[in-house]
Amino acid sequence: MPEKILVTSALPYANGPIHLGHLAGAYLPADIFVRYHRLKGSDIIYICGSDEHGVPIMLKARTENVSPQQIVDRYHEMNKKSFEEFGMSFDYYGRTSSTVHHEVSSDFFRTLAEKGEFILKTEEQLYDPKAKIFLADRFIKGTCPACSNPDAYGDQCEKCGTSLSPKELINPRSAITDAEPVAKETTHWYLPLAKYQKQLEKWIDAHPEWKSNVLGQIQSWFKSGLNDRAVTRDLPWGVSIPEDVAKKYNVDAEGKVLYVWFDAPIGYISATKEWAQAKGNENLWKEYWQNKDTRLVHFIGKDNIVFHCIIFPAMLMVHGNFVLPQNVPANEFLNLEGNKLSTSRNYAVWLNDYLQKFEVDSLRYALACNLPETKDADFSWKEFQARHNNELADILGNFINRTLIFAHKYFKGKVPDAGQTDNLDKELIDKIIHAPAALGKLIDNYQNRFYVRDLMELARFANKYFNDKEPWKTRNSDPQVCATTIHLCCLLY
């Protein structure tokens, strides 16, 4: 039986285009992994889609004076098209504003509520009296107490990077109306993560093979102790709280939605359901999400580790009907020319812009050579040019070009039969025989930089082999030796 694998990449936020940091973090590594396993014959599906709820989308909509739906429609289509042109091989690319996703998320929330896993808390939160809306942390601005940036958000100062709470801001104001917020009571559902910490720790302890950057961040959360986490918000945009659940808890559900961190990972499940429906088999999704033999792999960036390694697994454990991740190979961040990528400062290389000017394979190769797998990496145009010219073109491209031209010109476009082999031939044969397993092992262990390095080393050796064998001479002096040379070179395809 072929190995059953379910691969997901973090759902990109539908409030802006895709940039190179996104690709290097969660998408290109996953695509390499998926393509390898398809060639290997694994039973694998690759699921992704747009994350279309949350405060940033509402802020974008208010800034442009349009509806949130218009924002997500625009960027969903833009990013889906960019991914297709970049060569991403998703089996299904969904979106969290879909009817199926709202149904699946509501049912998930309802199941946990019926099991009594949530706790209710009534607390004071900041409220905009002008807009008549509770303010999520991102909807509050003020002066950063650390660096005096006057436009720090209620969750973080993007200038100095300090994590904040709205109460820490100096002179807080609403990002919607600029009004001074007031404290007002509201009730929300919380997931008591401390209750599941021992179970989570036992599960994580069973995966010592995970990347050290992932395990390190998880252990720091465990060491600090897990806290209750709100799963609902007061917002006009999102998955509405089921009225039957709200009634059971005697809470007014008006204006309450699922917190985006809660509904977004459920998007993997809802998108798989939609994929199954498109296949004409509505229950097909269960063979991946509810099969204990499924290898579930989440490809993400390091800023999503806590959600995919603690919170979402806790949700799956509590629900009880789903497999847990077998691995979460999170990458670090990709910088640009030595500086941090920033969507808010428009400091990025946007994928849709790149695709209008350069070749896709050049970017895929340059990024794959320098993925931030264990530490932050840097993208520079000078290195991009060098990778394209010196490696992709001069080494790999040159070898392929000269081999095929020779076969076409002197062997009527066919692979000639091999004859007797000498020591150099046998060295190449040995490399050809052992390369698939060795390269595949690197991909399977999420070491794509080493995989690309070793693959290019093989191409470099093949070029040297071609030069040393001098087929342009042997085609006249010893045609059988020439035929053997071209035969072995063609095997590398």
- Average pLDDT score over residue span 437-448: 97
> Tens of pLDDT along 381-431?
999 999 999 999 999 999 999 999 999 999 999 999 999 999 999 999 999
Answer with the residue of higher pLDDT: 139 or 297. Answer: 297
Token couple for 121 = 């808390």
Taking a C-beta distance cutoff of 8 angstroms, is the pair 337, 379 a contact? Answer: yes
Token couple for 257 = 């939605």
Mean pLDDT of the chain: 95
pLDDT for the residue numbered 163: 76
Global pTM value: 0.93
Can you give 177-225 as a three-state secondary structure string?
CCCCCEEEEEEEEEEEHHHHHHHHHHHHHCCCCCCHHHHHHHHHHHHHC
Residue 343 pLDDT exceeds 80:
no
pLDDT for the residue numbered 249: 92
Taking a C-beta distance cutoff of 8 angstroms, is the pair 92, 278 a contact? Answer: yes
% of the chain residues with pLDDT over 70: 100
> Tens of pLDDT along 193-230?
999 999 999 999 999 999 999 999 999 999 999 999 99
Match 């309450």 to its residue by tokens. Answer: 256
pLDDT for the residue numbered 83: 98
Nearest to 165 by CA among 145, 190, 194: 145
Token couple for 231 = 């799963």
- Average pLDDT score over residue span 137-155: 91
pLDDT band of residue 138 (cuts 50, 70, 90) is: confident
Answer with the residue of higher pLDDT: 442 or 162. Answer: 442
pLDDT for the residue numbered 155: 84
Can you give the chain as a three-state secondary structure string?
CCCEEEEEECCCECCCCCEHHHHHHHHHHHHHHHHHHHHHCCEEEEEEEEECCCHHHHHHHHHHCCCHHHHHHHHHHHHHHHHHHHCCCCCEEEECCCHHHHHHHHHHHHHHHHCCCCEEEEEEEEEECCCCEECCHHHEEEECCCCCCCCEECCECCCCCCECCHHHCEEEEECCCCCCCEEEEEEEEEEEHHHHHHHHHHHHHCCCCCCHHHHHHHHHHHHHCCCEEECEEECCCCCECCHHHHHHCCCCCCCEEECHHHHHHHHHHHHHHHHHHHCCCCCCCHHHHCCCCCEEEEECEHHHHHHHHHHHHHHHHHHCCCCCCCECCCECCEEECCECCECCCCECCEHHHHCCCCCHHHHHHHHHHCCCCCCCEEECHHHHHHHHHHHHHHHHHHHHHHHHHHHHHHCCCCCCCCCCCCHHHHHHHHHHHHHHHHHHHHHHCCCHHHHHHHHHHHHHHHHHHHHHHCHHHHHHHCHHHHHHHHHHHHHCC
Residue 162 pLDDT exceeds 90:
no
Residue 161 pLDDT exceeds 80:
no
As a dihedral over the C-alpha atoms of residue 350, residue 99, residue 6, residue 229, rounded to 10 degrees, the angle is 80
Token couple for 135 = 């303010």
> Tens of pLDDT along 81-127?
999 999 999 999 999 999 999 999 999 999 999 999 999 999 998 99
pLDDT for the residue numbered 353: 96
